Amino acid sequence: MATSSRWSLKQRLVVSFLVAIITGLNSPVNGCFTSIFCFGDSLTDTGNLLEISFSESGKLPHSAFPPNGRTFFHRPTGRYCDGRLVIDFVAEALGFEFLPPFYGSKNEKFEKGVNFAVSGATALNFTFLAERGIHKRSTNVSLEVELNNFNIYCNLFAHLLQLLRTSLIVVGEIGGNDYNYAFWQGKDTEKIRELVPLVVHDIASAINELIELGAATLLVPGNFPIGCSPSLLTQFQGSDKDNYDSLTGCLTWLNQFAQHHNDLLQKAIQILRTHHPNVGIIYVDYYNTAMRFYRSPEQFGFKETVKACCGVGGPYNYNPSRSCGYPPLKRCCNDPSSYISWDGEISLS
């Protein structure tokens, strides 16, 4: 689907990254989290879009089809990935089960937490983007909708709010799709850049709202180096060598765009920290973690950096109309663990 980016981050890569995150956490009272709640897009979606699409239109997203899921779950689960997402590794590392999707299981209590992230979700709402001529492709869900779902859920199960203090809350990655949709529609880059402070403002508002409800520990991932994603490399393919980083083959200006988002996000987090000195807000640096893979792929066991494993066509193995999981195309490389990108889309998984 046309969502954010997803790369098949391999376990061995993720481990060092997670250790860094988890040791940075402000542990709650007894040193253990009681539950995990998360918000975001396809990088974090463990089955929500699949459930929404199935119940609303009967039309299934690409994540419902093989070879998605082939490496770990051995069946499609609604994850845009062959294996586990970063959130799955976080849950495992903290001794939790994989987080269930919120949609499709509304009557459960989810004492251990639940996942509100929806593939294709944006930070800005549907109306706001539509007014700027940016049309969403797969879902109308925005961060605001995910928070509304959280509130609905809290109203159903009042005990949940008491859990918040001792929960790990993951907000993001979110916002990448706001830009992706605009880039795919060929919007002017300067116009897209104007969205960045608005996107960051919405993320910061969501964090603030969660803190006011009682959240005490939040992980906030930034954006990936989108200039390395097979989908955007395909879309902006050109002969001007100056646009590309000669070491990685990534598009420099797109990576700068992602860094701009991350800079503003970190500044917003810094302000939130001064307003809420007793709350742990941890920025998760997806960008530089991923750049290590692109700069020294062999060190992490990667052979292909900017080509998608699951996909077909062009120099990046990516064609938006024949993308991964879209029946009947089941073509996939033999060894997904040697490719940084699973399906070529922008985010990672």
> Which amino acid does the sequence have at 226?
I
The CB-of-150 to ligand NAG minimum distance in angstroms stands at 15
Rg (CA), the chain: 19
Question: What is the Cα–Cα distance from 102 to 107, expressed in whole angstroms?
Answer: 10
Among 71, 140, 189, 243, binds ligand NAG (CB under 6 A): 140
Looking at 139, 167, 341, 349, which residue binds ligand NAG (CB under 6 A)?
139
Report the greatest alpha carbon distance in the chain.
58
From residue 318 to residue 347, the character string flagging contacts with ligand NAG as x (rule: CB under 6 A) and all else as - is ------------------------------
DSSP string, 80-131: SSSS--HHHHHHHHTTPPPPPBSTT-TT---TTEEE---TT-BSS-HHHHHH
Q: List all residues 6 or more positions away from 140 whose beta carbon is below 8 Å from its beta carbon.
A: 126
Per-residue x/- track, 193-232, ligand NAG (CB under 6 A): ----------------------------------------
Closer residue to ligand NAG in complex, CB, 142/323: 142
The only residue of 96, 98, 128, 300 in contact with ligand NAG, by rule CB under 6 A = 128
**Interface with ligand NAG, residue 3, by CB under 6 A:** no
DSSP H or E run through 234:
helix 230-235
CB of 62 to ligand NAG, least distance (A): 15
Q: Which is nearer to ligand NAG, 129 or 218 (CB)?
A: 129
CB neighbours of residue 139 within 10 Å: 24
Sketch the per residue contact string, 49 through 88, with ligand NAG: x for CB under 6 A, - otherwise.
Answer: ----------------------------------------
